[in-house]
Amino acid sequence: MFRNVAAIYLHLAGLLQRKKAGTSLTRCLHQTFAMAKRLQARRLDGIDHNPWVEFSRMASEYDVVNLGQGFPDFPPPDFAVQAFQLALSSDYMLNQYTKAFGYPPLTEILASFFGKLLGQEIDPLKNVLVTVGAYGALFTAFQALVDEGDEVIIIEPFFDCYEPMTLMAGGRPVFVTLKLSPTQDGELDSASNWQLDPTELASKFTSRTKALVLNTPNNPLGKVFSEAELELVASLCQQHDVICISDEVYQWLVYDGHQHISIASLPGMWERTLTIGSAGKSFSATGWKVGWALGPDRLLKHLRTVHQNTIYHCPTQGQAAVAQSFQHEQARFGQASSYFVQLPEAVQRSRDHMVRSLQSVGLRPVIPQGSYFLIADISDFKSKMPDLPGDAEEPYDSRFVKWMIRNKGLAAIPASIFYSMPHRKHFDHYVRFCFVKDESTLQAMDEKLQRWKTELRP
Amino acid sequence: MFLAQRRLCSLDSRAKFLKTIYSSKILGLPASAMSLKITNAKRIEGLDSNVWVEFTKLAADPSVVNLGQGLPDISPPVYVKEKLSKIAAIDSLNQYTRGFGHPSLVKALACLYEKFYQNQINPNKEILVTIGAYGSLFNAIQGLIDKGDEVIIIMPFYDCYEPMVRMAGATPVFIPLRSKPVDGKRWSSSDWTLDPQELASKFNSKTKAIILNTPHNPIGKVYTKEELQVIADLCIKNDTLCISDEVYEWLVYTGNKHLKIATFPGMWERTITIGSAGKTFSVTGWKLGWSIGPNHLIKHLQTVQQNSVYTCATPLQEALAQAFWIDIKRMDDPECYFNSLPKELEVKRDRMVHLLESLGLKPIVPDGGYFIIADVSLLDADLSDMKDSNEPYDYKFVKWMTKNKKLSAIPVSAFCNEETKLQFEKFVRFCFIKKDSTLDAAEEIIKAWIRQKS
């Protein structure tokens, strides 16, 4: 490490800069800590990389319209904000621990609300677990049910945490890709044309398959799985005695009259499905980090064991606010005044706006039926400017996003991060945009695109 | 099922394929026989029982005076509540923040804790904000402890240490605190110590870490400089990490000083120091905690974080940051919560000591924390109703006391491992971070108990 004396002095000088006056040198000299034993646990192997950090940092360094990050830049609805205020100003004991597995008014309303939707008798104590976001529910599920050597089927493209969570639990991810059926020339592609091949899917199930992760509506594609597609997945899960982990955080964000269907409501599926939801996505309050897992007691009891040995409790006030917000929605369910009706209506308009605008510069969006996102095909750019700066093995879409941030003032996320390593090179011609943004943001996007258009080579 | 089948049959290429699937169901295998695979992961085997779930249910009866679970029934400071209220109205604070800790919070934590360490603390690389101190313990253990490692745990111990170590596939190695004889004088938490030779014998080549808890739950011991030096020397000699749970760091009573083992020579680079907003500001329901340490350790806790919860709630972190700034600016002021809370609690502690002594007990006076333990066998309670139960004495006693005296507490053997439950089975833990009316109610119960005895 130290090639010469000068380097040593420079290194120490650097360390000394952090020191306060009059303290010993001992700490400096121990900065390079070398433990004879291996330091970090093996379960962290291969999962330390975080693709988001780089793109978030770049988006904050440049003057960009940020369409990468997957959260709203508008506030939660008034009733939700008021619910939080109420939680803070009422009983001061809400500042203290609540029940470990969920604040009772929240588990009760979740049980009644989703019981109706799933056509299932849901017990708030046995069939509901409140978690730190849907992310926390996913983690709890993997830790509870996936063992060393278990296989977990993951449908690509996938929300990127499924793979490292499987690995951290000692499991082996088995990928199956949604494949695009070709469209007519000139027509925009639709997420519904991305489909699973039934034979290929069936071939992925082995005697070691423990779980399949389903995400509908899908991030990043925006696909809403149809009943037929869910029945296909369901029948295979039943045939092979596999657990279905169903990530349904975008369940209210469905467009064009599409219907979100929970696989747990299909015959034979409740007993083997964990249905995961998010208050953050439901109430446009991602910073509250309240999520839940619903399922049969025989699965939930194992999630409870993990929960009590990982975080034990979730924060109380956020749960109280979510309970109150669900009360509000339950009273208006299916009506025009329901947020779960108004939000997708408003977001659909944003989606349509973005779809129109992106095309003006030669990006070809894939129309999503649901979720916060769409992916846009950048093949034209790949053929016109194939050599963009980047690292040796860096996929094209990642280089494109960085170029777009630096030169066009727009931030997005490369779609290849939602693919397993070996498949990234086949899907490096897509970029993910988030359209759950305020009108002013979309207008700022339009300005950037208009400038981009003028800069296009003829 | 049949309706579905007909619908599916109308789809071209899938029909033939799906018919084969349905025919296997016609074989009539019962659902239960097909579920042999749906079992829990081995990592949680044997970790399903939990003392709190059982005892909080018992104490939930509103007519019971609850001195069991460590949760304040006093109000948090007004400015803490006010901060959260203002913040919740700010739009952007309702969305995701930085995964490893909200920027203003990690800056505040760095600023506060730099006062205790010799060096500046890098807020982004040397701090991680977690879901309570509980979450920090989990991240530290999952990040740094591997299958086959050994971890030294000092008994009695906060009950989550053992299952967390086991969940990581490691082996806990226990060492008890032992009391010196105290004839005549008042029993103090400082009378409970570790035997240095015994401690040294617990270290071997497999020892990855030792978990330290100071001030200690449940005894209330505040480790002295000499005691910490013994532990530090062994960590350095054996190349071991130290996970230091310091959630009660501000709650130390007259004549005692909380010391951070990470500030001892050679210890910063091998120590994770854990703190808690819940215990610092009496807001246990906010579930915010933090780990502080060198980047070469913290980065592994950060890896666990990005693969487990990813980020903590934003409005709570911002409110906490602002509350910290108020108190950081007035650390020498008696009004600073870090000073006023221990003063308030010392009065309550002394009141509890007096109450327990009036009942004929010999409580162990804690030097820190907000719990006090006492040997209850001297009360010779009639537990004949429960003689068939093979639970330890203190479990039976607490259940009896909850039912018959409407006073709840926690059995100390819950803080021991299987083999050593008997060493502490006569002790029961009382929590005294309670408002005066709660302690008044406890006093009434104890006075009636005394009358009934005589």
Residue B277's pLDDT is: 98
Question: Pick the residue with more confidence: B32 or A236?
Answer: A236
Q: Is A316 an 8 Å CB contact of chain B?
A: yes
Nearest-CA neighbor of A201 among A225, A171, A165, A167? Answer: A225
Residues 6+ away with beta carbon under 8 Å from B57: none
**Phi, psi (degrees; rounded to nearest 5) at B288:** -125, 130
Please judge whether B285 and A94 are an interchain contact, meaning their C-beta atoms are less than 8 angstroms apart: yes
- The whole-number pLDDT of residue A458 equals 66
Between CA A227 and CA A238 the distance in angstroms is 16
Helix or strand (DSSP H, E) at B150: strand B150-155
- Bridge partners, A413 (sequence order): A432
CA dist B261 → A281, B156, B188, B233, B342 (Å): 42, 20, 22, 11, 21
Q: Kindly identify which residue of chain B lies nearest to residue A40, measuring between CA atoms.
A: B144
Query: What pairing do the DSSP bridges indicate for beta strands A179-180 and A194-195?
Result: antiparallel
**Residues paired with residue A211 on neighbouring β-strands, in sequence order:** A152, A243
Q: How far is B411 from chain A (nearest CA, A)?
A: 19
Phi and psi at A115, nearest 5°, equal: -60, -45
Find out whether A408 and A448 touch, Cβ atoms under 8 Å.
Answer: yes
Q: If you measure CA to CA, which chain B residue comes closest to A138?
A: B308
Q: Which residue has the higher pLDDT, A279 or A56?
A: A279
Cα gap B70→B218, rounded to integer Å? 10
Residues near B23 by Cβ (< 8 Å), separated by ≥ 6? none
What is the average pLDDT across A235-263?
98
Confidence of residue B453 (pLDDT cuts 50, 70, 90): confident
Predicted confidence at residue A297, as pLDDT, reads 97
Q: Is the pLDDT of residue B19 over 50?
A: no
Distance from CA of B196 to the nearest CA of A (A): 24
Torsion of CA A129, A133, A136, A137, to 10 degrees: 40
Q: Is the CB of residue A88 less than 8 Å away from at least one CB of chain B?
A: yes
The nearest alpha carbon in chain B to A36 belongs to B239
CB contact under 8 A, A306 and B120: no
Residue B69: name the closest of B422, B439, B448, B410 by CA: B410
Q: CA-CA distance, B163 to B417, in Å (whole number)?
A: 10
Q: What average pLDDT does the structure give for chain B?
A: 90
Q: Does A133 touch chain B (CB under 8 A)?
A: yes
pLDDT tens readout for residues B121-164:
999 999 999 999 999 999 999 999 999 999 999 999 999 999 99
Interface check for A30 against chain B (CB to CB < 8 A): the answer is: yes
Q: What is the predicted pLDDT for the residue at B25? A: 42
Residue A287: closest CA among chain B residues belongs to which residue? B95
3-state SS, residue A278: strand
Displacement of CA A456 from its chain's centroid (Å): 33
Averaged pLDDT, B404-418: 93
- Flag whether residue A84 sits within 8 Å of chain B, measured between CB atoms: yes
Closest to B220 (Cα-Cα) out of B366, B70, B429, B416: B366
Question: Which token pair is A454?
Answer: 């003028």
Tell me the percentage of chain A whose pLDDT exceeds 90.
Answer: 85
Residue B181: band (very low, low, confident or very high) from pLDDT cuts 50, 70, 90: confident
The pLDDT value recorded for residue A2 is 39
Residues of A in contact with B296 (CB under 8 A): 33, 39
- Of B251 and B90, the structure prediction assigns the larger pLDDT to B251
pLDDT on residue A13: 52
| Residue that wins the pLDDT comparison between A440 and A89 | A440
Query: CA of B158, closest CA in chain A: separation in Å?
Result: 12
Q: Which residues of A137-162 are buried (b: 16+ CB within 10 A; e: fewer)?
A: bbbbbbbbbbbeebbbbbbbbbbbbb
Distance of CA A201 to the CA centre of its chain: 23
DSSP class of residue A442 equals H
* pLDDT band of A358, cuts 50, 70, 90: very high
Q: Which residues pair with A118 in a beta bridge?
A: none
Q: Do A198 and B160 touch (CB under 8 A)?
A: no
**Angstrom distance (rounded) from CA A11 to CA A287:** 40
Q: Is A100's Cβ below 8 Å from some Cβ in B?
A: yes
- Residue A11 in contact with partner chain B when CB distance is under 8 A: no
Q: Quick one: which H or E segment has residue B371? A: strand B371-375
Beta strand pairing call for B150-155 and B207-213:
parallel
Task: State the pLDDT confidence band at B338, using cuts at 50, 70 and 90.
Answer: very high
> Over 90: is that where the pLDDT of A415 sits?
yes
Q: Residue B61 carries which side chain, given as an amino acid letter?
A: D
CB contact under 8 A, A92 and B138: no
Q: Which residues of B touch A269 (CB under 8 A)?
A: none
| Backbone conformation region of residue A376, classed left if phi is above 0, alpha if psi is from -120 to 50, else beta | beta
Chain A: nearest CA to B380, how far in angstroms? 33
How high is the pLDDT of residue B57? Answer: 81
Structure tokens, B370 = 């907000």
User: What is the per-residue pLDDT for A83?
Assistant: 96
Which pLDDT band holds residue B400 (cuts at 50, 70, 90)?
very high
Would you state the pLDDT for residue B35? 61
Instruction: Quote the minimal CA–CA distance from A108 to chain B in Å.
Output: 17
pTM beyond 0.95, yes or no: no
pLDDT over 70, % of chain B: 92
Helices and strands (H, E) in chain A, number of each type: 16, 15
- Measured between CA atoms, how close is A16 to chain B, in angstroms? 9
What are A29-69's pLDDT values in tens digits? 445 677 878 899 999 999 999 888 889 889 989 999 999 98
Residue A142 and residue A169: Cα distance in Å, rounded? 6
Question: Concatenated DSSP letters for A372-401?
Answer: SEEEEE-HHHHHH-------TT--HHHHHH
pLDDT tens string A176-232: 999 988 776 778 899 999 999 999 999 999 999 999 999 999 999 999 999 999 999
Residue B15: predicted pLDDT: 39
Partner residue opposite A20 with nearest CB, options B37, B118, B167:
B118
pLDDT at B23 over 50: no
User: Which has more pLDDT, B166 or A27?
Assistant: B166
Cα nearest neighbour of B90 on chain A: A75
Indicate whether A26 pLDDT > 60. no
CA distance A281 to A293: 15
Dihedral sign computed on CA atoms, order B346, B352, B356, B361: negative
Burial letters A49-76, b for 16+ CB under 10 A, else e = ebebeebbebbeebebbbbbbbbbbbbb
Q: Which two tokens stand for residue A270?
A: 């409740």
CA–chain centroid gap for A377, Å, is: 21
Cα(A125)–Cα(A127) distance, integer angstroms: 6
pLDDT above 80: residue B22:
no
Backbone angles phi, psi at A244, to 5 degrees: -105, 120
A27 pLDDT more than 60:
no
Contact B146 A42 (CB under 8 A): yes
Rounded to the nearest 10 degrees, what angle do helices A78-89 and B78-87 cross at?
180
A359 in contact with B at a CB cutoff of 8 Å?
Answer: no
**Burial environment of residue A31 by CB neighbours within 10 A (0 to 12, 13 to 18, 19 or more):** middle
Q: Average of pLDDT values for B401-418?
A: 93
Q: How confident is the model at residue A234 (pLDDT cuts 50, 70, 90)?
A: very high
What integer pLDDT is reported at residue A168 of this predicted model? 98
Q: Which of these, B323, B261, B272, lies nearest to B294 by C-alpha position?
A: B272
CA dihedral sign, ordered A246, A249, A251, A254: negative
A12 touches chain B (CB under 8 A): no
Nearest CA in chain B to A140: B308
Q: Would you call B127 helix, strand, or coil by DSSP?
A: strand
Read out DSSP for A34-103?
Answer: --SS--S-GGGTT----HHHHHHHHHHHS--EE--SSS-SSPPPHHHHHHHHHHHHS-GGGGS---TT--
